[in-house]
Amino acid sequence: MALTANKNVSVLAEQARLLNARLAVVADESRYQELKDALAGTDTDVAAGAQAVVEAAQIESDWLMSAIVGAAGLPGTLAAARRGGTIAFANKETLVCAGPLMMRLVAEAGATLLPVDSEHNAIYQVFDFEHPEGIARLILTASGGPFRTLSREEMGKMTAEQAVKHPVWSMGAKISIDSATLMNKALEVIEAHFLFCMPREQIDVLVHPQSVIHSMVEYRDGSVLAQLGSPDMRTPIGFCLAWPERMETPVPKLDLAKIGQLTFENPDPKKFPALVFAQEAMEKGGIAPAVMSAANEVAVQAFLDKRIGFLDIERIVGTVLRATETTSLTDLAVLAEADASARVKAEELIV
């Protein structure tokens, strides 16, 4: 077993001891000695650096979880795909940035992709893979985030501290901001396009504030199959851990009578233009989704650092995306160049 972390040496060492890991890797090279000292006296090997993370992903294993945030998770996930096996992935940027490359590697190696994102995991559970021609559309649900009921003027005054306070889910800072802008749903639309081989015209988003229905699949005969559950990430994680079986999870059981009411509304593209960006990126194709994702990462971090306002995130992403010329995504070198260029352009727009 191999475990990796970005900087959190204490938790990494604790888990490595608990699970008797063969290898523990910290991506931050400056934390190498700290990790080595923390695991002194154990049989766990220690390594550090981005390349060491990729090498950990290449180790033969029955099951691999890819959960590194952002484009940083791409090299390791691609490395895992090359060797085949079962890959559970919570890193949506892998398919957003390199969907064609990733799916080709998965097919060539005979790998199995299990989506951990609650929306894609829900679709996976009710998707008829043997008869995909019978599917009319995928419906991704969205909570609407913390600013769903606010006006544009009010949204423009929101702080990072307010934006990370999601009304339903407990998430990290970056994905919480993405939820507030609905960029998380934009990324998920692109992810679903590649993962389920569905045209963009057959992927819709529906705002569902209670987050009980995690997503739906509509079939051509009018049937709509939905996966329901408490808004708790332990459910999709448990599904992926036990697949193709089922396992008990310590998740509160769904009590629909107590909830009483489930509501739905269409997203407002004028208030939340991220969904429009997703459509534009998919229409352009090639490097465009990667450019959108990279610009968003820069803008979100700038907002968290209090360098820009909340609405500046969409300004920066939209400007960088629309200035991007269509270029085919032929290999990782092209992707790396597009990612770096998008980040530079995004930084230039931070004023």
Residue-wise pLDDT tens for the chain (351 aa)? 999 999 999 999 999 999 999 999 999 999 999 999 999 999 999 999 999 999 999 998 889 999 887 778 888 898 899 888 899 999 888 899 999 999 999 999 999 999 999 999 999 999 999 999 999 999 999 999 999 999 999 999 999 999 988 776 667 788 899 999 999 999 999 999 999 999 999 999 999 999 999 999 999 999 999 999 999 999 999 999 999 999 999 999 999 999 999 999 999 999 999 999 999 999 999 999 999 999 999 999 999 999 999 999 999 999 999 999 888 988 889 999 999 999 999 999 997
Residues paired with residue 217 on neighbouring β-strands, in sequence order: 138, 225
Which pLDDT value is given to residue 91?
84
Give the residue from 340, 286, 296 showing the smallest Cα distance to 316.
Answer: 296
Strands (DSSP E) contained in the chain are: 2-5, 23-26, 45-48, 63-66, 86-89, 112-115, 135-142, 203-207, 213-219, 224-228
Which of 29, 112, 27 is CA-nearest to residue 70?
27
Quote the pLDDT of residue 92: 83
Quick one: pLDDT at residue 173? Answer: 86
- So what's the pLDDT on residue 166? 72
Q: What is the pLDDT of residue 72?
A: 82
pLDDT at 330: 87
Domains of the chain: 120-272 (no CATH), 285-351 (1.10.1740.10)
63-66 and 86-89: which strand pairing? parallel
- In this structure, are residues 38 and 13 in contact, taking their beta carbons and an 8 Å threshold? yes
Q: So what's the pLDDT on residue 68?
A: 86
pLDDT at residue 332, as a whole number: 86
Specify the 3-state DSSP secondary structure of 298: helix
Would you list the DSSP string of 131-170? -GGGEEEEEEEE---TTTTS-HHHHTT--HHHHT--SS--
Single-letter amino acid code for the residue at 86: T
d(CA 65, CA 221): 36
Exposure string over 135-167, b if 16+ CB within 10 A, otherwise e: bebbbbbbbbbbbbebeeeebeebebeebbebe
**Alpha carbons 53 and 239: distance in angstroms, whole number:** 25
